Structure 1
Amino acid sequence: MAEQEDKAGKSQVVERTCLILRELGRFGPGGARLIDLTERTKLSRPTVHRMLSTLVAEQFVERTRDRGYRLSSQIYELGLNAPSPVGDPARLRPIVQALADDCGDTVYLAMRTGDFSHYLLRCEGAYPIRTHVVSANQTLSLVSTHCGRSLLASLSEDESEQIISRAQTDKRLFGEAEPDGLRDEVEAIRKHGFGWARDVTFIGVAGLTVPVPNPRGSSFLAMSISTIPQRLTKERAEKILPSLRATALRISEAVSGQSGAS
């Protein structure tokens, strides 16, 4: 039977296949059950099963030990040849620097890479006391930083828990926090959309963080404002949070425009 197409010429089969792959990506390495994908995609069970069988045969999807499905390592290999979703981070510097100039503190932009957050930009404000605990181009565990906490909160509970559990082999990664305290922080960010904490990554460092919205799925970028605890009180955090959120939205729009143009 000929492949169905809509009036815009889009292939229904390809569209549904992409939908399934996106949903599998949201479930992470733990994978998803057939019923999970049926509920999330709103496709019929036979349709999802048939497409998954083909994706498994083509080695884009693999079965898990508990008879679920997850993306295969071949997807990772393809991704190595894909352009960065951010492009050249330098083009985002004026957006991040504008926030640093406005609040006077250090502003970071980080991107998730597996279990880690890679810091793309660090922009300085005019406040003379600075918290230089992370450098641009440095890569740290997601459990080690304020941006990492936002990125963990953007994942499903199962996937974030897997990352936290893997990190527990080295408690030093958690800084001044305990794993359960980190879990509470991540849950609070998931609930409220931002994180505010002091003396948890390093003594003498406070951070305010938000995930950068991703219209296509989970956030893979996060931003934070970092300064000394005495300067980032709860009241001040509430005051500068709207500016941080507005800047994250500008970053999202710039990155989405980049992806659409590429």
Structure 2
Amino acid sequence: MDGAIDVVGRVGGLLRALSAHEPAGASTTVIARDAGLARPTAHRLLSSMRSEGLTDRDDASGNWHLGPEIYLLGLVASGRHDATETARSTVRRLAHETGESAFFSARRGDETVCLLREDGSFPIRSHVLHEGIRFPLGVASAGLAILSFLDRREQSRYLRDADLTTAYGDAHHRDRLTDRIERTRRNGYAVNPGLIVPGSWGIGAAVFDRQGSPRWALSLTGIEARLAPPRQQQLGKLLLSEAHALSQRINEHGRE
């Protein structure tokens, strides 16, 4: 039984790794590395999933992709879990009103995944975020906003177990992350002051489910001059207002 559970975990890891590389796809070596698996193991599992339609492979480039069965399963599950259509008008409005790139992200375990992106009119744009990209909680403004408003016990567990410094630097040490969490709780919105890519800032606000848990986030990204104070406070207030209204609409539609 433990072996079966281990296989399911590996398959899940491979699918998540694949999703981060769409639409270009990625090689077996890259997918294996991102999923933390040996290349032969990754290749065997990817090939098995291909026979079930869960993965696909470009025979010319050798790159792997998510398969057609994933799309069909997603359509079936979207009726219960997908909040993107409810959020789409909000994301468009934020991009239009601010001129910045606006996003809607969802929590998936200890990560956030970007579901929607809409670019504003300002000609200089940040390309840190795109649809499908994943970050650990606490990384990027959406993940920081969600982490900051988790139940304190769950938050403490995550801060104890997560190691973000290896991939994201000392600015993501738990002590410094704790400081940003407390600042986010005071302000209501999260700020990423160029910690992933220097000069590319982000502001995020959590969107809550009917139990009061942060399940999603709205965020804006732009260059420092556009997102620094005093405009930062104005954008933060706007995000909080839109996040509150979106929380209500999602819960009215019964999304889980």
Is TM (by shorter chain) over 0.5?
yes
Map 1:47-196 → 2, pairs under 5 A = 86-87=81-82, 89-168=84-163, 171-173=166-168, 176-196=171-191
Letter in 1 for 2:239: L
| Structure 2 residue matching 1:221: 3-state secondary structure | strand
| Structure 2 residue matching 1:234: 3-state secondary structure | coil
Give me the TM-score of the superposition, normalised by structure 2.
Answer: 0.63
Deviations, residues 210-237 of structure 1 (Å, cap 9, x unaligned): 1113342211111111111121121001
**Percent of matched pairs sharing the same residue:** 24
| Structure 2 residue matching 1:212: 3-state secondary structure | strand
Asked if the contact 2:140/2:192 (under 8 Å) is kept, the reply is no
Name the structure 2 match of 1:16.
none
Shift in Å, 1:100: 0.6
1:231 maps to which of 226, 234, 242? 226
Relative distance call for 1:139 and 1:164 in structure 2 (3 A) is same
Give me the TM-score of the superposition, normalised by structure 1.
Answer: 0.62
In our comparison, the structure showing a higher alpha carbon Rg is 1
Name the structure 2 match of 1:205.
200
Name the structure 1 match of 2:38.
none
Letter in 2 for 1:117: T
Name the structure 1 match of 2:240.
245
Shift in Å, 1:170: 5.4
Relative distance call for 1:170 and 1:192 in structure 2 (3 A) is closer
Asked if the contact 2:125/2:223 (under 8 Å) is kept, the reply is yes
Gaps of 5+ in 2: 1-75
Gaps of 5+ in 1: 1-80
Deviations, residues 22-43 of structure 1 (Å, cap 9, x unaligned): xxxxxxxxxxxxxxxxxxxxxx
Name the structure 1 match of 2:217.
222
**Alignment partners' CA distance in 1, 2:168 and 2:153:** 20
**Alignment partners' CA distance in 2, 1:100 and 1:253:** 21
Relative distance call for 1:88 and 1:220 in structure 2 (3 A) is closer
Shift in Å, 1:254: 2.1
Letter in 2 for 1:183: T
Q: How many positions carry a matched residue from both structures?
A: 181
Name the structure 1 match of 2:251.
256
Moved more, 143-152 or 157-166: 157-166
